[in-house]
Amino acid sequence: MSDTLKIHVDQDKCQGHARCKALAPELFDLDDYGNAHEKGDGTVPAELTEKAWLARSNCPEVAIEVSES
């Protein structure tokens, strides 16, 4: 079985660029201030693995952490 990915947005780093939401709306929500949060507990469905990495590499603030569990 392959590892499950989890994403987490570091609130100290996120500046609301919203690229994550544009690239992977299934994985991120924006709050009233425009800052991103992972949806639910951050678990990435297998079919969205690529989008999780894409969002991470496109965040200018390097605010998105992707971990394998």
Q: Which of these, 27, 28, 33, lies nearest to 15 by C-alpha position?
A: 33
d(CA 29, CA 31): 7
- Minimal distance, residue 16 CB to ligand F3S, in Å: 5
**Is residue 9 close enough to count as binding ligand F3S by CB under 6 A?**
yes
Task: Give the residue, chosen from 16, 31, 50, 57, that forms a contact with ligand F3S under the rule CB under 6 A.
Answer: 16
- Minimal distance, residue 1 CB to ligand F3S, in Å: 29
d(CA 3, CA 17): 29
> Where do contacts with ligand F3S occur on this chain (CB under 6 A)?
9, 14-20, 35-36, 59, 61, 63-64
